[in-house]
Amino acid sequence: MRYGALLLMAALMQFDAFAQQKAIDAKPKKISPDLFGIFFEDLSYAADGGLYAELVQNRSFEYNPADNRDWNSMTAWKYQTDGFGYGTISVETANPIHQNNPHYILLDIQDAGQKGVGLENGGFDGIPVRGGKYYNFSVFLNVISSQPLPLTVSLVDTKGRELGTASFTASAKGWKKYSEKIKVNFDEDSAMLQLLVKSPGKVGIDMVSLFPEETFKNRENGMRADLAQTIADIKPKFMRFPGGCLTHGDGVANIYHWKNTIGPVEQRVEQRNIWNYHQSVGIGYYEYFRFCEDIGAKPVPVVAAGVSCQNSGGTWKIGSTGQKGIPMEDMDAYVQDILDLVEYANGPVTSTWGAKRAAAGHPAPFNLEYLGIGNEDKITGVFEERFRMIYDAVHKAHPEIKIIGTVGPSPNGEDFDKGWKLANQLAVGTVDEHYYEKPEWFLKNTSRYDGYNRLNSKVYVGEYASWGNTLFNALAEAVYMTNLERNGDVVRMASYAPLIARIGHTSWNPNLIYFDGKHVFPTVNYYVQQQFASNAGDEYLPGIINFTSADTTAGASCVKDSVTGDVILKIANAGSTQLFGTANLAKLGKLAQKATFTIICGDAKVANTAAHPAEVLPKTTVINMPKQWKFTVPAYSLSIVRIKAGK
Ligand code: AHR
């Protein structure tokens, strides 16, 4: 009866909820197959202490006060003499493993005491270990005294109980890597790693490392499995990396240079993280490319446009004057570095940089298709001169690479306008728009792209989020995303930002995924992103879904995935009342009679937190799918219907 009444209402009142939509939605249209992806930045301990599975903090003794004024080479380390041993400990720089990795520890042990003398590391807020699991330990040692040195490496709990141990002897003069497997016998959330020398002698110590044996896809120097899997479960079509502000850096000297981040980890150039900590670059460009491949996401590296962040030195407080350019005499070399990046990713193994990729373990190309130049830079003369140099060189040498330009940090304003003007002048393929706004902004701006000139540069919404992790925030984003799909001919890509953040070390909120040493906490926003990315299509089908009354807090889209033939309906309701409507599937050809129906709904103010991680989760059922589907969706909900092609 209720549906009968609704049908009648629908017949009388049926109209598209979006007046603008009608104009641009007359016919089905091809939309970007790469629309929904992710943006990874080493921010809030996203890499070291996060996705990177390394459990030792400051493994190379390279922390220093420039990273953080309270830090030095011994940060996260303790000199361990508990068994009444004694000697001296010092931080040295003469004759290091490699010039890029200058600091190491020198132990001169006079008496090893009852337990040995050495070092203890507490990891990132403690080292979480699991009984029955194996851990891969490695260290570089340089034995300076004449006798071989016996050592033990152990994981211990806070009371000193041994959880697992291994013994070995070091004798090599000169730096040599030693590797041991440690079996852990008990669970412990806050273990410490102890490396103890058991007899008198003198030894240099560097690159003390511990990885779980199980990393994501069991990669060496790999990613933390649970966190990586959570990211992979989004099924992102692409991944932008390594930042954000991290890319263009805090001053010219802090610009991220990809060449510093490849090769053996002990030879990489570590540096300050703009977010006030340290980058070991253990996850470097090779690992980023490999991770993209492992999760089926196209790599989207972003390089600095030859200028540092305009907020360098914290100048955002006094008016954005901190942007500095790489000196013009160094720009040719910088441009060449970027051309070399393309060769590193795609070049044959016989090329200089392709050979380095192959040497790292990946002879096949990484199939780089996109390259970002610049990150929300202030559009100044200094920027423009350098951007043009890079753009022209890459475009000329690699017309096959889709270049993404930049249009400032906001959805409008001076840099936005100037950035767009430059992009249109140069015919840059795509530009990167950024916006962090209130949820209401997303609901008010659903027609933002309707009027974009389809002949101009296309859009990558490289960073966006509403300010919060409640269901309402996530649904405002969902409503907006249905409109990104509707404009998927001009908006080619979009990624929520930031992606992951370690609880207790967040430099930015909100984020899509929170984590600590042992747990991963996906937000409601995460589930929305996951639903859109894993239910993407490449054809937009207009006029299929109609609401029975206009609603400014709702959005709907219908797309088809041409690979599977599946049709996907998305109905997002960020409003406080139920929503009624119809989906007319009759014109879509043969479709299965049943469909999967996934819903995310609940109280608008609810969020998934560490204390309550599962307040709002998607629920999936199977429903019958009539050709004329009359629907009622609850207040504060996102519904996704996936219908297979009929046989
Ligand atoms: O996503 C966090 C930061 O926001 C990025 O580093 C920067 O590009 C933007 O300002």
pLDDT in tens, 177-201: 999 999 999 999 999 999 999 999 9
Q: What's the CA-to-centroid distance between 574 and ligand 1, angstroms?
A: 26
Q: Whose CA is nearest to atom 2 of ligand 1?
A: 498
Output 12 or 442, whichever has higher pLDDT: 442
Q: Is 316 in the pocket of ligand 1 (CB under 6 A)?
A: no
What is the 457 CA–ligand 1 centroid distance (Å)?
A: 22
Compute the distance from residue 18 Cα to the ligand 1 centre, in Å.
Answer: 32
Segment 549-599, tens digit of pLDDT: 888 999 999 999 999 999 999 999 999 999 999 999 998 999 999 999 999
Is the minimum distance from the CB of 206 to ligand 1 under 6 angstroms? Answer: no
Residues 258/285, Cβ–Cβ less than 8 Å: yes
The phi-psi region of residue 132 (left if phi > 0; otherwise alpha if psi is between -120 and 50; otherwise beta) is left
Structural contact between residues 224 and 500, judged by C-beta atoms closer than 8 angstroms: no
The pLDDT tens digits of the residues spanning 157-175 come to 999 999 999 999 999 999 9
Handedness of CA 369, 283, 217, 46 (dihedral sign): negative
Burial category of 429 from C-beta neighbours within 10 Å (exposed 0-12, middle 13-18, buried 19 and up): middle
Q: Could you tell me the pLDDT band of residue 320, with boundaries at 50, 70 and 90?
A: low
Sheet-wide strand order for 86-92: 86-92, 104-111, 201-212, 134-143, 176-183
Alpha-carbon span 52 to 605, nearest angstrom: 33
Q: Which of 614, 453, 632 lies closest to 521, judged by CA? A: 614
Does pLDDT of 11 surpass 50? Answer: no
Q: Which atom of ligand 1 is nearest to the CA of 436?
A: 4
Ligand 1 geometric centre to CA of 245 (Å): 5
Categorize the per-residue pLDDT at 18 as very low, low, confident or very high, splitting at 50, 70 and 90.
very low
Contact yes or no for 569/544 (Cβ under 8 A): yes
- Assess whether the C-beta atom of 243 lies below 6 angstroms from ligand 1: yes
Please state, in angstroms and rounded to a whole number, the distance separating the CA atoms of residues 526 and 50: 17
For residues 360 and 450, the answer to whether their CB atoms sit within 8 Å is no
**pLDDT of residue 295 exceeding 70:** yes
Position in ligand 1 atom list of the atom nearest CA 508 = 2
Distance CA 338, CA 500 (A): 27
Q: How confident is the model at residue 321 (pLDDT cuts 50, 70, 90)?
A: low
> Which residue among 62, 376, 384, 477 is the active-site one?
376
Does 8 have pLDDT greater than 80? Answer: no
pLDDT computed for residue 319 by the predictor = 59
Whose Cα sits closest to atom 7 in ligand 1?
Answer: 244
Closest CA to 506 of 75, 68, 45, 47: 45
Question: Going by CA atoms, what residue is nearest to atom 9 of ligand 1?
Answer: 244
User: pLDDT tens digit string along 448-502?
Assistant: 999 999 999 999 999 999 999 999 999 999 999 999 999 999 999 999 999 999 9
245: Cβ below 6 Å to ligand 1?
A: yes
Give Cα 603 to chain centroid, integer Å.
Answer: 28
How far does residue 421's CA lie from ligand 1's centre (Å)? 22
What pLDDT, on a 0 to 100 scale, did the predictor assign at position 647?
Answer: 78
pLDDT at residue 314 in the model: 74
Q: What is the pTM of this model?
A: 0.95
Please report where in the chains the tokens 């263009």 appear, as a residue: 248
Residue range 358-371, pLDDT digits in tens: 999 999 999 999 99
Q: In DSSP terms, which residues pair with 240 in a beta bridge?
A: 39, 300
| CA 312/CA 378 separation, integer angstroms | 12
Question: pLDDT higher for 25 or 222?
Answer: 222
CA-closest residue to ligand 1 atom 5:
244
Rounded Cα gap, residues 232 and 514, in angstroms: 15
Residue nearest to atom 6 of ligand 1 (CA): 244
Residue 497 Cβ < 6 Å to ligand 1: yes
pLDDT at position 371, please?
98
| Nearest ligand 1 atom, CA 274 | 6
Binding site membership of 409 for ligand 1 (Cβ less than 6 Å): yes
Q: Quick check: CB of 508 below 6 Å from ligand 1?
A: yes
Give the residue whose CA is nearest to atom 4 of ligand 1.
244
Q: What are phi and psi of 194, to 5 degrees?
A: -115, 130
Question: Which residues are registered as beta bridge partners of 223?
Answer: 52
Model confidence pLDDT, tens digit, residues 243-280: 999 999 999 999 999 999 999 999 999 999 999 999 99
Q: Is 498 in the pocket of ligand 1 (CB under 6 A)?
A: yes
Query: What percentage of the chain has pLDDT greater than the value 70?
Result: 95
SS3 of 45-100: the string is CCHHHHHECCCCCCCCCCCCCCCCCCCCCCCCEEEECCCCCEEEEEEECCCCCECC
**Confidence check: pLDDT of 128 > 90:** yes
Is 432 touching ligand 1 by the criterion CB < 6 Å? no
DSSP secondary structure letter of residue 357: H
Rounded to the nearest angstrom, the distance between the alpha carbon of 48 and the centre of ligand 1 is 18
The kind and range of the H/E element at 494 are: strand 491-496
What would the pLDDT profile of 444-459 be if each residue is shown by its tens digit?
999 999 999 999 999 9
Up-side HSE of residue 358: CA atoms within 13 Å toward CB?
13
Rounded to whole angstroms, how far apart are CA atoms 593 and 147? 78
Whether residue 284 has its Cβ less than 6 Å from ligand 1: no
**pLDDT at 445 (0 to 100):** 98
Q: CB of 493 within 8 A of CB of 32? A: yes
615 annotated active-site: no
Q: What is the pLDDT of residues 382-421, one digit of tens each?
A: 999 999 999 999 999 999 999 999 999 999 999 999 999 9
Spacing, Cα 323 to ligand 1 middle (Å): 15
- For residue 572, what is the enclosing H or E element? strand 567-573
